[in-house]
Amino acid sequence: MCRAKKLYSEKELIISQCQDCKKVGIQLKGLLFNFEQKEFFNYAKKVNSIDFNQHAFQFADDEMKLILKTKDKQVNYCLSHEEFEDLKTGMQIAILMIETEKILSKV
């Protein structure tokens, strides 16, 4: 069982990291996706490079949403503009927290 340390929490998004194995979890709307630390960094970089306006689709509820792939080909995030920006912000803050902890552990 992982001993999770919360790196970011806002609205329906929680990003945490296991203190032992260093895996990172993104919990969003009841779904939990786990990443090796390097995978998480790469995924965050990819997500950060996406332009919502260029890739969003209008859904039946007339809201523009972005389909964001996950490691599992059958599961995708479907995010509004606000949710997408929250995810990008959360991932960037989580990376800063991880990097800060690495620096402090060397002191």
**Is residue 26 scored above 90 in pLDDT?**
yes
Positions of E strands within the chain:
4-10, 13-18, 24-28, 31-35, 57-58, 64-69, 76-80
Q: What is the pTM of this model?
A: 0.90
Which pLDDT tens digit goes with each residue over 39-88? 999 999 999 999 999 999 999 889 999 999 888 889 899 999 999 999 99
What is the rounded average pLDDT of the residues 12-33?
Answer: 93
* Phi then psi dihedrals of residue 72, to 5 deg: -90, 115
List of residues 6+ apart from 69 with CB closer than 8 A: 76
Percent of the chain scoring above 90 in pLDDT: 76
Please report the sign of the dihedral spanned by the C-alpha atoms of residue 60, residue 82, residue 69, residue 64.
positive
